[in-house]
Structure 1
């Protein structure tokens, strides 16, 4: 590993004379190891783009490309440094290289990491704090980018708040690059030496060829993953290596760029800056990224750096070399580390969302912290003579501060225990079906059964509406709630973003001739625990057909998670409709979220939504099935377990007013459209809300596992009502 070799890889030469002569020739032909003030100024452009973007500045919707700028700069500087060492000496001193990187990066990163972990443990709700501390430990080990990539594939976690450690993903990419890049250079040198059976020469051609191959392969991965695995494309090194390789290619071809005529270099530099600025202004969160869009900032940086090789004192190089920009460039690393956690934790500190003045203040505060970190940590450790003279001490320093950061994260996890309700144990919610009323011309017994069961739940909801202390026997517990998913979310029955088709997902009595289809997005799937119990009791075959963020309604749809048109949803809809037409279920239960809007391309409850629901109900009725449309569950407007973990003694602080959680007019419009099209509609609001409030706990049941999906426990508690609704829907033509 890193610390085992003090001299690194050595390419053996024929004799010491040849080694010395080769070194002199390499020094004459290799790129000069000179300081680039324009590159230092370019760092300022990168960090300003990121900070302005994270601060929510209007018009700078693509400031995230600042990270791409950093990647190209790193590729340029590190590749140039490694190549010069290899060409000059035939060796890369790995311990010294890694020691320098550790001394340069790890102390500041660890200081900010520890401070952020302490702030998160102090200021955030306990449940969120524990998740964030896990992010911190992963970030300390420079694996946070893969944790984020995995997290991004979990659609049930897609709406969780960003982590104050999220920006460490780019450091993870760079650290992984630092680990692999020297090995790549060494491998090229070894292979070239074996083929020529002679010393390493000063030609960069083999290195350029390999870097070009790496760049092409990585770019191909980036293009493929941007469409199919967007979170992996954004966070993972394989999809980002091409940006670092582009910087390396520029570094290895410096002699070519030095021959550019000054006027041409000046124009190229300004074009490069324009490309970066255009990226900041015209890209946004809806842009599939990195993909082809990342070519703009990457090529922009390459042009600026290449132009600076020929005419650093002219054009954009002269502008970037101005003292203020260079000062910001020196500050860029620490400022990048501090700005994001300060922006995210400041609202919890002040007790409200930051306005414009507050945001400016948070950015300024992070800049002040960055200056202190630069003066007191970065520079003193980076330039400390005892560390600079000893690779072993530098590595020990980096390893030590990393170990401290990990240990602090682990200790805080112990100090922030999983939240547990402190209130008195509550009774379980028991809903009991009463004997059917005597026949009456004025009262439909099926309606009476639904009403009688609903009244029982209403009473329990009303009794819990003013609940203060979270019950000690809450089911599921706050800590367990995020994982309280119905089985269909785990076994492939719920299709993810990129999936099409629908395998057989039969439950209840799979061999029954009576089929009930539960169809829709994840809000259909969250009712499956209740419907599965009913299907077992009634000996129905229950088919669950569900796809995430994909309502069956025929509406144009985009996916904000994929950043493009949601073609998989359109294809899945057609497949499901064809299957329903072929299988002729007795009852089709339709359910979907009502939180669509904005980036999805349509808005819940608007005229297009209502008309589409009417058309779909007509289509489904044409299969010969009865159709039951389930109304929405109230929107809690918060991640329920997290909020309650911060209000264990006042659960009402998290419960939204009914007027905010329920759209009564929209529900009425849906109901009218469904009935007019021959379907039946179940308004579920009474199962969740009083006339004034929608509590989040009923009896001892936690109602939501996140910010919109029901817990399995509450869905199962409502099974008698689900059964009555299904019976009524089946009994009516």
Structure 2
């Protein structure tokens, strides 16, 4: 997938979902009058009622796709398309209901409409929100719990989709753990759709009355104006979806503007239901089975690497349109009878609650038992969430939905919705108060102070610059060794755990580090901008995290520093794809060429290369593999040809956790978050990189001794928090290592 952790395709929505008795016409009629889960044109069913059992079965297909995908079941890599199925279903049902209102009364009964939606969606949704919030506060580390509770509040207000889009746009938050509330994004999309689409229907009705007296007098108002409005909405939204899928993937996935076309597709079927109902039986059957085949194809052939929604979403949307449209003709040998089988409809009946429960259960059960779930465990979690769904259906959904005092009063229904929303929001706020910001309560620790090295006299056997680096490294190593025994988080930890995520250098905000879609190399000079000696710090975010130390070093030496960075883009000549963008990372390749051209033109005295080593196969290559090492040698040689000295910084340890979050759960045992050295450091890979750098004529700085003892890599050194997240240094710790960085720079620039 293109971004956002593990749940990038998780959510889905319901458009007035059905919970009626299987064969009870009276119950179906009650549903028809209140909730709109029915055909746009009742005449299209043979029974004369508006009940569509095949749509209930279609819900079952969609929810099974989604939950199996989330459980990691092999063969359903595209199960996330269930969200698209439900968007189309919702558009069909809601548009049909609104069209019936406007065609009979000339307007839409907004209070009744929103009251029905409140009874349908909010009781179960509010229950899951509150229960999940309580469980998250109890089971998750405090820092993660507080962030998750923010998601709960946003989800209760149905704006969670935009919160998740913002998180997905932030490169440094893109790998954050998935939220137990992330699946509520789609309910946000639906609620926003509910706000806008009735207004468009009312506006179109007003325009029709103003411009056509014939339409006002007609026995059967024409659906043409509404079809036109919906077609325009669909076209504009689809265009936005195409553009944003390529340029703003999180916004393409989570936002209403890029998803409205899917809802509109269902609405177009609703407004053209009479035309669908006239299809010959054989043609309708073929259309329905073809639609189901498209859904199966999307579920089995798409996967998380597919740019989405974009054009790929046409598969499930068209498939759903064909299934629903063909069902209007009720062909004898169509797909409808299979979808209407009682077991299938039984799953469809609980699908809303099952979806609401399954994702929190999948995420929170591992936190409860203390280890990840295997496939069997995940299937067990789905069964548990299914049981919760059945209970929710019978104890919450149906009793509230069919309560007579609520059904006869839109005002009471709306008041109920307001109360549920307020309770969910207040629950999140109260839990935030109950889960205060975690603060270390250990003894105050000393600053990490590295004294300037005494430069020894050069001799044939002693290189003074090597000796200076060794002296300073030894000082840091002593502090690291002392801190490795620390158990309690210091009370004067810097930065504080809650402040760590925002503790990043200015270059991440001032344009020196280009984001995913940005190219070009802006003027990012610091130190002494007018110096004739230039040091260029080049690479991805792991180069940028060292910028505070290099800025301090170049200020001391009165050198000019140029910082040239781009996220997830190492300066190595390797074909690269972006898992965040879900496509070839052409912006990275273009930026590399621009940077190399600039370095060749400016000819700095020193070029420092730094990059993350966490690149896996989803980028098209793997750190430390032969292609990586060969590319490193070639790049060093190419940069050396400019006349510059080249210094390659080795990797920092990989903590294998989001360190502030981990520490917030282990305030009295820092070692629980400090990984063993063999786990955190790839010694063989570092040695291979050093050889590859030397082969290209550059110098290599193995930084391991600055962070690790022989056994462990502590995540707190002195009072410094080492990591701001799961792989970047804090600004404070980078600054504390300035003397070492200065010595490394001096050594790289010294005549050889």
Category of TM-score, reference length = shorter chain: over 0.9
CA distance in 2 between counterparts of 1:488 and 1:223 reads 31
Matching of residues 10-21 of structure 1 within 5 Å: none
Pick from 287, 293, 299 the counterpart of residue 306 of structure 2: 287
Contact 2:215 2:222 in 1 (8 A): no
CA distance in 1 between counterparts of 2:645 and 2:562 reads 15
Q: Deviations over 1:187-206 (max 9, x none)?
A: 11111111114654411011
What SS is found at the alignment partner of 2:328?
helix
Give the corresponding residue for 1:194: 210
Does 2:191 align with 1:175? yes
What SS is found at the alignment partner of 1:546?
strand
What SS is found at the alignment partner of 1:468?
coil
Matching of residues 116-127 of structure 1 within 5 Å: 116-127=132-143
Does 2:174 align with 1:158? yes
Does 2:462 align with 1:443? yes
The verdict on how the C-alpha distance between 1:663 and 1:28 changes in structure 2, with shifts beyond 3 A counting, is: closer
What SS is found at the alignment partner of 2:646?
strand
**Cα deviation, residue 315, structure 1:** 2.1
Give the corresponding residue for 2:107: 91
Give the corresponding residue for 1:338: 357
Gaps of 5+ in 1: 1-25
Contact 2:663 2:673 in 1 (8 A): yes
**Cα deviation, residue 487, structure 1:** 0.5
Contact 1:233 1:239 in 2 (8 A): yes
Contact 1:53 1:64 in 2 (8 A): yes
Give the corresponding residue for 2:147: 131
**Cα deviation, residue 228, structure 1:** 0.2
What SS is found at the alignment partner of 1:475?
coil
Contact 2:42 2:50 in 1 (8 A): no
The verdict on how the C-alpha distance between 1:227 and 1:33 changes in structure 2, with shifts beyond 3 A counting, is: farther
Give the corresponding residue for 1:275: 294
The verdict on how the C-alpha distance between 1:195 and 1:30 changes in structure 2, with shifts beyond 3 A counting, is: farther
Does 2:406 align with 1:387? yes
CA distance in 1 between counterparts of 2:212 and 2:456 reads 96
Contact 1:114 1:405 in 2 (8 A): yes
Give the corresponding residue for 2:267: 248
Contact 2:521 2:595 in 1 (8 A): yes
Give the corresponding residue for 1:143: 159
Give the corresponding residue for 2:10: none
CA distance in 2 between counterparts of 1:529 and 1:62 reads 43
CA distance in 2 between counterparts of 1:671 and 1:72 reads 56
Q: Deviations over 1:456-510 (max 9, x none)?
A: 0000001111221111111111110000000101111110000000110111111
Q: Deviations over 1:606-638 (max 9, x none)?
A: 111011000000010111111100000011111
Does 2:428 align with 1:409? yes
Pick from 697, 702, 718 the counterpart of residue 716 of structure 2: 697
Contact 1:27 1:87 in 2 (8 A): no
CA distance in 2 between counterparts of 1:75 and 1:480 reads 43
Does 2:503 align with 1:503? no
What SS is found at the alignment partner of 1:596?
coil
What SS is found at the alignment partner of 1:635?
coil
Contact 1:496 1:547 in 2 (8 A): yes
Give the corresponding residue for 1:530: 549
Give the corresponding residue for 2:511: 492
Pick from 47, 67, 76 the counterpart of residue 83 of structure 2: 67
Pick from 24, 37, 42 the counterpart of residue 58 of structure 2: 42
CA distance in 2 between counterparts of 1:314 and 1:373 reads 35
TM, length-normalised to structure 2: 0.93
Matching of residues 635-650 of structure 1 within 5 Å: 635-650=654-669
Give the corresponding residue for 1:11: none
Contact 1:95 1:392 in 2 (8 A): yes
Matching of residues 531-680 of structure 1 within 5 Å: 531-680=550-699
The verdict on how the C-alpha distance between 1:615 and 1:712 changes in structure 2, with shifts beyond 3 A counting, is: same
Q: How many residues align?
A: 708
Gaps of 5+ in 2: 1-39
Matching of residues 341-490 of structure 1 within 5 Å: 341-490=360-509
Contact 2:41 2:50 in 1 (8 A): no
Q: Deviations over 1:578-633 (max 9, x none)?
A: 00000111110000000001210001001110110000000101111111000000
Pick from 496, 508, 517 the counterpart of residue 536 of structure 2: 517
Q: Deviations over 1:253-279 (max 9, x none)?
A: 011111111111111111101100111
**Cα deviation, residue 91, structure 1:** 2.1
TM, length-normalised to structure 1: 0.95
CA distance in 2 between counterparts of 1:145 and 1:472 reads 37
CA distance in 1 between counterparts of 2:387 and 2:331 reads 31
**Cα deviation, residue 27, structure 1:** 8.7
Q: Deviations over 1:656-685 (max 9, x none)?
A: 111111111111111111112111110000
CA distance in 2 between counterparts of 1:184 and 1:246 reads 15
Q: Deviations over 1:97-137 (max 9, x none)?
A: 00000111011100000000000000000000000000000
Structure 1 segments (4+ residues) deviating >3 Å = 26-33, 197-201
Does 2:121 align with 1:109? no
The verdict on how the C-alpha distance between 1:311 and 1:682 changes in structure 2, with shifts beyond 3 A counting, is: same
**Cα deviation, residue 515, structure 1:** 1.0
Contact 2:262 2:317 in 1 (8 A): yes
After superposition, the CA RMSD in angstroms is 1.3
The verdict on how the C-alpha distance between 1:259 and 1:545 changes in structure 2, with shifts beyond 3 A counting, is: same
Give the corresponding residue for 2:251: 232
**Cα deviation, residue 356, structure 1:** 2.3
Contact 1:30 1:87 in 2 (8 A): no
CA distance in 2 between counterparts of 1:585 and 1:568 reads 24
Contact 1:27 1:88 in 2 (8 A): no
Contact 1:38 1:312 in 2 (8 A): no
The verdict on how the C-alpha distance between 1:516 and 1:193 changes in structure 2, with shifts beyond 3 A counting, is: same
**Cα deviation, residue 360, structure 1:** 1.7
Contact 1:33 1:81 in 2 (8 A): no
Give the corresponding residue for 1:731: 750
What SS is found at the alignment partner of 2:571?
coil
CA distance in 2 between counterparts of 1:199 and 1:649 reads 75
CA distance in 2 between counterparts of 1:679 and 1:637 reads 30
What SS is found at the alignment partner of 2:497?
coil
CA distance in 2 between counterparts of 1:314 and 1:645 reads 60
What SS is found at the alignment partner of 1:681?
strand
Q: Deviations over 1:682-710 (max 9, x none)?
A: 00000000111111111111100000000
Q: Deviations over 1:344-363 (max 9, x none)?
A: 00001111111222212211
What SS is found at the alignment partner of 1:479?
helix
CA distance in 1 between counterparts of 2:42 and 2:456 reads 101
**Cα deviation, residue 59, structure 1:** 1.1
